[in-house]
Structure formats: structure tokens, C-alpha cells
Amino acid sequence: MNPLFAGLGTTIFEAMSARARATGAINLGQGFPDGRGPEDVLAEAARALLEDSNQYPPMAGTPALRQAVADHYRMHQGLDLEASEVIVTSGATEALAAAIFALVTPGDEVVMFQPLYDAYLPLVRRAGGIARLVRLEPPGWRITAAALAAVASDRTRLVLLNSPLNPTGTMIGPDELALIADFCIAHDAIAMCDEVWEHVVFDGAQHQSLMALPGMRERTVKIGSAGKIFSLTGWKVGWMCAAPVISSVLAKAHQFLTFTTPPNLQAAAAYGLGKDIGYFEGMRAGYQRSRDRLAGGLGALGYVVLPSAATYFLSLDLAASGVAMDDVTFANWLIEEAGVATIPVSAFYAADPVTSVVRLCFAKQDATLDSALERMAKRP
Ligand code: PMP
Ligand code: GLN
């Protein structure tokens, strides 16, 4: 057995959801909404399933979805992508795997930021890459030039960036993006940008793509997910966008991972990406209300909530909240004693973890959030 995988545990998302199911806890751990998602997008998926072909679509994605992704980013982010530069994948998770396997060769160094999404490190290691980790800290979780300089080397190949950032709910700011762009250009590195949360941003913020910065168009892989854009996390339709010299190699890795993605879901994603701005604004406003409801309730219970600018998540600062437990102990206490599942943020660190923060998902119906708050009135 490959020791890289034999040594891995089950991801924290699956582990916490399984415990929530087993104990009847309210699941504010794994990030998924408990609503139905947009009815017209669901209807288009059902229509396509019944009326269109259910045989293999083209390997790089249906022409309609590739075009819809390019048009969508032109309209919403001012990017000048061609449909031919978009490769459709089975979720952003597959895009990450395909792009890492395509671009990282043994001994290449990959700069990543902790807290990091659980899939990144096992994939980079499986590709033979060497992780160079920049540690971010609460409450700001900011990237500095000094921290980047400390992980640079002549073997730097890739910078893997997640913005908006899961689990912190922060957005990488313009100054930090400029630092990263300078870094990539100076080291002739490729930027892989996991932007699955690009539409789930609050308080009127506008997502900014690293690809739009000067000099980055030709050296960025931009990854997105229909699951997040349409609040349908089980759909597993994603994509990766890059200039032809890169995307042609990404396609080669993709063809031997999944080859293709269900055609009816591609049709529905293509339809949904063309929805008018009102849909996206409405989705953001809804999640923002949920964020404020949970944050307000937790504040009233004496918890200190770190600011959440994006994603489905907010976090609690345990030390500032007067909880004398580390994050894992608190998350265990909360699921067993109060009946609410959360995610300890130390799970997003490979080394030297921040242990005083837990992540909660607010993408839930009001009644679910209110029940969780009632339960959380019991504090350790
Ligand atoms: N990257 C990040 C940062 C995520 O939060 C998620 C899922 N929440 C993914 C990738 C995976 O996306 P998908 O479900 O489309 O594979
Ligand atoms: N991205 C989701 C989260 O952060 C989980 C995805 C998964 O379970 N793999 O909660």
C-alpha cells in the first residue's frame, strides 16, 4: 500500500459529519447549505437528464459550459478567457488533483498557506512535490512579503492560493495579491488559485482574481466550482482555466482522472452561470443574513467571533471567548455535550497549528441556526 495514503486519517469533514449523524448533533461542521438550491437550475438538470444525451460528453467539457464559464468571468470579473482555455472537471477537487499532477514533478517546491484546505497537501506529496508552508495567524490571517521570501528557492514551481480562504472566511487583499504576483514572476512560478468561494462574498466586496494582475494571465490556473455558485455542493462540477500552453497539459491529467463529468449537470451549470446579477446578489444577501444571525447569537452567548468576509464560515476565538480548551477538545465537548458539530481549525495545519479557533458553517435555515444557538447556550 502507498504509505502516503495508508498514513492518512479520514478527512475532518467526513469524520465530523459522521459523528453528527451518529449523535443527532446539529451539523455546523462540514460546509454545505441545507436549502434546495435554485429551482430553475435543478429543473434544467432534470430536463437535460431526460431529454439530452447521457453518453460521454467531450473530454474537456461541453462546448456550452466551457463558453458559459468564459462568458461568466468576462462579465463578473473582467477576465478575457476563451472557451478553449476552460477545462471542465468533476468538482474543484478534481481540478486541484489534475492541475497538481500536471504541473508538479518530483522535487518541485509548492508554496502553500496554512490554514490549508485538506486536499492540498496529500495531492502535492503524491505528485512528489515539497510543501513550503507559510503560516497565517488570527485574527488577520495576512500574508507578508517576509513570510513569502522565507519560503522562496530556486526550485519554487507553484504557489497554491485559496481566496476567499476556507476556513478563515477572509479574502486575500489587493496588496497581498500584488505580493504574490511579484513573487510568481520573480521565481517564474505558476499560481494555482482555488477560487471556489468567489461568489460567496459579503458586505459589497468584489472578488479579485490573481489572473487579472499584470503579468499573471499567462501563469495562473484559476479553479472554480458550480457546487458553491449554486449552493449544490454534491454536484461536483468544477473547472480550471489557464492559457493554452498550461491548459493543454491540464487536459492531459484530467483525461486519466475522470475523463468527463455528467452531461446533465454540465448543462445545468452552463444555464446557471448565465443567470442575471440578481441571483448572485440574492444568494450573497441570504448567506450574509445567516452569517449575521449566527454571529449575533454567538456574541450574545459571550463568544468572540472573528470577522467573516466570505465563504459559508465564521470562526470562534476560544481564548478571547474565555474558553480554557484547545479547539479539538472544545469541538469534542460541543458535539458530545451540547449536540453541535463544528470543525477545529488546527485540522487545517500540517505543522505548528493554531489551536484556539473553531469553524462554524452558517449556510443553514434560520431554524437550524436558532436551534444550534439554543444548544450552545450550554458552555464549557
Ligand atoms: N477548495 C475549497 C477551498 C473548498 O472549500 C472546497 C469545497 N468546499 C473545494 C475546493 C472542493 O470543491 P468541489 O466540491 O467542487 O470539489
Ligand atoms: N469544503 C467543505 C468544507 O470546507 C467540505 C468538502 C468535503 O467534505 N470534502 O466544509
Residue type present at position 355: T
Q: Which residue is closest in CA terms to ligand 1's atom 8?
A: 31
Cβ(333) to ligand 2 under 6 A? no
Q: Count other Cβ atoms within 10 Å, centred on residue 78.
A: 10
Domains annotated for the chain, with CATH where assigned, are 3-30+278-376 (3.90.1150.10), 39-275 (3.40.640.10)
Residue type present at position 345: V
Q: How far is CA 136 from the centre of its chain?
A: 17
Cβ(264) to ligand 2 under 6 A? no
Cβ(166) to ligand 2 under 6 A? yes
Ranges under pLDDT 50 in the chain = none
Provide the ipTM. Answer: 0.97
Q: How far is CA 197 from the centre of its chain?
A: 6
Give the distance (Å) from ligand 2 centre to CA of residue 11: 9
Q: How far apart are CA 172 and CA 180, in angstroms?
A: 10
* pLDDT computed for residue 210 by the predictor: 98
Give the distance (Å) from ligand 2 centre to CA of residue 23: 20
Q: How far apart are CA 1 and CA 233, in angstroms?
A: 31
* pLDDT computed for residue 2 by the predictor: 83
Give the distance (Å) from ligand 2 centre to CA of residue 40: 25
Q: What is the pTM of this model?
A: 0.97
* pLDDT computed for residue 144 by the predictor: 96
Give the distance (Å) from ligand 2 centre to CA of residue 13: 6
Distance in Å from the first CA to the final CA of the chain: 42
